[in-house]
Amino acid sequence: MSRIKQGFRVELAPTTEQRVRLAQHAGLSRVVENFCLALVRVTLDQRAAVRTYGVPDQQLTPVPWSAPALEKAWRAAHPTAFPWFRQAGLSSRVPKEACRVRAAGLKNWAGYRRGARRGRRVGFPTWRKRKHGMRFRYDADRARPTGERTIALPGIGPVATREDMSWLTGRLGDGRARIIGATVREQVGRWWVSFQIDIDRTDINTTRTAPADAPTCGVDLGLKTFAVIADDTGEVEEVHAPRPLTSAQRRLRRANKALARTQRGSNNRAKAVRKVAAIHLTVANRRADFLHQLTTRLARTKRALAVESLNVAGMVRNRRLARAVSDAGFAEFVRQLQYKTGWYGSKVWAADRWYPSSKTCGDCGAINARLTLADRTWACPCGAAHDRDHNAARNLLAAMHAAA
């Protein structure tokens, strides 16, 4: 029995009073995170000042980097500095997780400075503001379903959900899953809870396993056609993305203009902000739905998939392509394929980033170094005529078989 970590998100249907309590807990989380950051900054400034007097580092006040140290400081300070915390009867689990979130950010920053953390640059944590959104966390299974449409949230009480949770409650009941954390978040006035669960997916994966005789394929990603899928059976499929951001540009433009005309701090401005946010939420949901449906279908029906190793971060630096690349969601497509193929018994093979899949002739192997992004078709001196995307997908498939 193999267990994995997985998320399960469901939308809440809180009452008016519960919405107020949810917002209070989100504010509490923001206050605790800023308290922790202020404490670390004050300690660092104090150490820098005392160090000028020649005091060795061993004798300086230790910096509360860890979550236990930050939580200890919060427990000592809140009775006098934040008396409303106890008076309002808010959950004590929220500050605990807020300290962990802040400690994780400090750890990531310190790791990047030492060179122990790879990837994008990680800066020193900044103040959390109300405009950054409302969210808070519970540790372990403090927040958990109590029925198929009810969730118990500490400090708030039983909250109804808009979706059925029998998929999760059934697995929690027989021990196939356990909750290891929960995050509550608000977007456009709607509240969601995301459970982080440790789950045994054996029954699901076995039922949905890709057939042993399923075809292998090469997948070429592009902007004009989102994906060209070439099977080893000779079939070629073109998949077109909905381009949700592009289709929403007119509505976004009007909504942003209306927002710019409002007065800061007014009720009309708050309404305009929600309207812009609602459009962005719809865009994100449409993109996520498209990517999940496509990656699930491929992982369940293909034995192996060859994909490109795209430098998406470099592609978005091109101001002419940045919006289209971001709208497509190439990196998320590959990420979903990688974990879903692990679920369903298939596999993903990634070509080298510099592999010239589009420029290589699939018949003779010659490389057309003069091929540009504007060239959708090209002819090889050997006499073969190629569609750029179809040729790239076949070349990826051939490279995966050659590497096997």
Residues 134-148 have a mean pLDDT of 94
CATH number for domain 209-241+291-403, candidates 3.40.630, 3.40.50, 3.30.420, 3.30.70 = 3.30.420
Is 244 within 8 Å of 264 (Cβ atoms)? Answer: no
Q: What percent of the chain has pLDDT over 90?
A: 73
Confidence of residue 7 (pLDDT cuts 50, 70, 90): very high
Here the tokens at position 111 are: 């790791």
Residues 374-391 have a mean pLDDT of 86
Q: Tell me: the pLDDT tens digits for 143-182?
A: 999 999 999 999 999 999 999 999 999 999 999 999 999 9
Q: Is residue 234 classed as helix, strand or coil in its secondary structure? A: coil
* DSSP code at position 367: B
Write down the pLDDT at residue 48: 87
Write down the pLDDT at residue 313: 83
Q: 108: exposed, middle or buried (C-beta count within 10 Å: 0-12, 13-18, 19+)?
A: middle
Residues 363-389 have a mean pLDDT of 85
User: Cα(191)–Cα(198) distance, rounded to whole angstroms?
Assistant: 23
Q: Name 391's Cβ contacts closer than 8 Å, sequence gap at least 6.
A: 357, 358, 360, 361, 362
Which of 11, 28, 21, 7 has the alpha carbon at shortest distance from 191?
11
User: Cα(382)–Cα(364) distance, rounded to whole angstroms?
Assistant: 7
Q: Tell me: the pLDDT tens digits for 322-339?
A: 999 999 999 999 999 999
| Run of H or E residues at 304 | strand 304-307
The CATH 3.30.420 portion of the chain extends over 209-241+291-403
pLDDT exceeds 60 at position 1:
no
Q: Tell me: the pLDDT tens digits for 221-245?
A: 999 899 999 999 889 999 999 999 9
Here the tokens at position 283 are: 């865009």
Question: What's the one-letter identity of residue 163?
Answer: E
Q: Dihedral (C-alpha) 133, 137, 142, 145: value to the nearest 10 degrees?
A: 40
Write down the pLDDT at residue 374: 82
Confidence of residue 20 (pLDDT cuts 50, 70, 90): very high
Q: Tell me: the pLDDT tens digits for 51-86?
A: 888 888 788 888 899 999 999 999 999 999 999 999
Here the tokens at position 38 are: 């202020």
User: Cα(99)–Cα(298) distance, rounded to whole angstroms?
Assistant: 40
Confidence of residue 311 (pLDDT cuts 50, 70, 90): confident
Here the tokens at position 210 are: 């890709």
Confidence of residue 371 (pLDDT cuts 50, 70, 90): confident
Is 324 within 8 Å of 223 (Cβ atoms)? Answer: yes
